[in-house]
Structure 1
């Protein structure tokens, strides 16, 4: 396909802002701001939290996530995965007439802006973060870009959880404290799993179409039932992991507040069970992203209460 053949003007009945909002794939943006919030909450007891660094880290993470979504939009179009009948929030190019060249240009601009913000963060903390930040941007691009896209392998969930969960939490803690603690590593694990769960939910929905287009995602390898069970296991492990912290006395019982998000996790799993069409699974996919949001905010709240009460 020629990536320059379409107009930059959205078509159809949607207002322009709705098209661009969908292009950002807002339900995935929780994977960027939840880790920053948690890493910062962990740093609160040190008394060294700087508001400017928090905001800079938050904006840089959102920009990288948004750029990743746009790279995904562009390459799904170029490789023929998206069409006007595709289900999901993507498809701004095929359904709304947004120019592929424009989508790629915005993605690159977002990455450039993130680099600029990253320079400020490095000046205020450590230049080693320049290397880590570069790896995060590269992971976002190579998820669907390049000759061997990560999205076509069983490792997408692992990469997403590692870079958007583990690394972002650790960096968000480090920029305030100048160190990496055991607590920051332990707390990152359930968040990494839940970010990976967002991708797993997406891959469960798209399993049949992805397999026809040559992908070999984990959801394809496990099959629908196996993938849903694996997703349930990711949820279960996250809650048990937090429970383990409390039982061993490493963290306050306040962190058990994350269990308030259990009903949303149950709703997500039930939404995938006995479903076959992508449209039927859309609500469950949305619920999975909401689990990450609720669990993440509640975990941050528990860390805050542990510090101040």
Structure 2
């Protein structure tokens, strides 16, 4: 029987900044449009966090029953380690998805954005299909694409739309940057797992690109994410604050490019998560401060 601490570790708290970042960025874009709604933002955050935890448990379950996590380098996996029964982990994933649906329905009713019902259904299907089902897209090298789309574009733009009823350049650029950082985190995780993923036939994008190219890809994604918001500096001069992230990005980038031991890449996950959160805060500050001083 898994302990509470093991369930918490299985939820992969290092990835949770990826749930906060799109909501912060999307809400900041709503501020730029003059329509920030705290209740809507809170509901969007609940949905985002529950989906993130749900997909983590779903991934734990699916990889565990396939044997992908039998031999791994990194944090505990509930199913693969035998700490929890597969059915328990599966039910935990479904419970998170169910609660996310309830919060999402309330948000849709409040915002009257009924088309988001289809988007929400797509989010649940994508969360389960990452490593679940007969043909999981995560095993085909498409996980990075879906993470970019759902944890970047969909989460950020959805947050903005449910508050402002429209989108802006800040929302689009913020969503791309957020998606790139989320994808960089997944890339760091998959680079670490290249040997074990290759052995079980899990062809992630990192496996397909190869070790060296995947590591460079991580650095390119971080760089693009930080530099893209500069396109908004004409409208929001304080957006230059995002450049404060450059020194923070150098540390994990160096580890990715030079770390020869797989264990040495584990800190990169936490560092990338913190970069995501810091980016969202600085991005939001750039919009809020500019509007406050206007």
Query: Above 0.5 in TM-score?
Result: yes
**Take 1:274 and 1:76, find their aligned partners in 2: how far apart are those partners?**
28
Is residue 252 from structure 1 mapped to residue 253 from structure 2 by the alignment?
no
What's the CA shift string for 1:70-129, capped at 9, x where partnerless? Answer: 00000111110112x522224122336212111111111111111111111111112111
Matched residues, number: 292
- Of the three residues 91, 96, 112, the one matched with 2:98 is 112
Matches within 5 A, 1:186-205: 186-205=173-192
Aligned 1:13-28 pairs, distance under 5 A: 16-28=3-15
Q: 2:201 aligned with 1:214, yes or no? A: yes
How far apart are residue 46 of structure 1 and its match? 4.0
Distance in 1 (CA, whole Å) between partners of 2:193 and 2:173 is 32
State the 4+ residue runs in structure 1 displaced beyond 6 angstroms: none
Q: Does 1:42 align with 2:29?
A: yes
Match of 1:101 in 2: 87
Structure 2, unaligned stretches of length 5 or more? Answer: none
How does 1:278-297 map onto structure 2 within 5 Å? 278-297=262-281
- The Cα offsets for residues 185-220 of structure 1, whole Å up to 9 and x where unpaired, read as 122111111111111111111011111110222211
User: How far does residue 154 in structure 1 lie from its aligned partner after superposition?
Assistant: 2.2
Aligned equivalents of 2:76 and 2:107: distance in 1?
Answer: 31
Partner of 2:254: 270
* TM norm structure 2: 0.94
Deviation at 1:227, TM superposition (A): 1.0
Q: Give ranges in structure 1 of 5+ residues lacking alignment.
A: 1-8, 11-15
Whether the aligned pair in 1 keeps the contact of 2:60 and 2:80 (CA below 8 Å) is no
Instruction: Check conservation: 1:121, 1:175, Cα contact below 8 A.
Output: yes
Corresponding residue for residue 306 of structure 1:
290
Q: Confirm or deny: 8 A CA contact 2:242 2:279 kept in the other structure.
A: yes
Whole-angstrom CA distance in 2 between matches of 1:116 and 1:20: 23
Q: Which has the higher contact order (CA 8 A, sep 6+)?
A: 2
Asked if structure 2 preserves the Cα contact closer than 8 Å seen for 1:19 and 1:96, the reply is no
TM norm structure 1: 0.90
CA contact (8 A) 2:58 2:93 kept: yes
1:226 and 2:210 aligned: no
The corresponding residue for 1:86 is 72
Q: Deviations over 1:32-84 (max 9, x none)?
A: 1110111111112444322221111110111011100000000111110112x
Indicate the RMSD between aligned Cα atoms, in angstroms.
Answer: 1.6
1:143 paired with 2:130, answer: yes
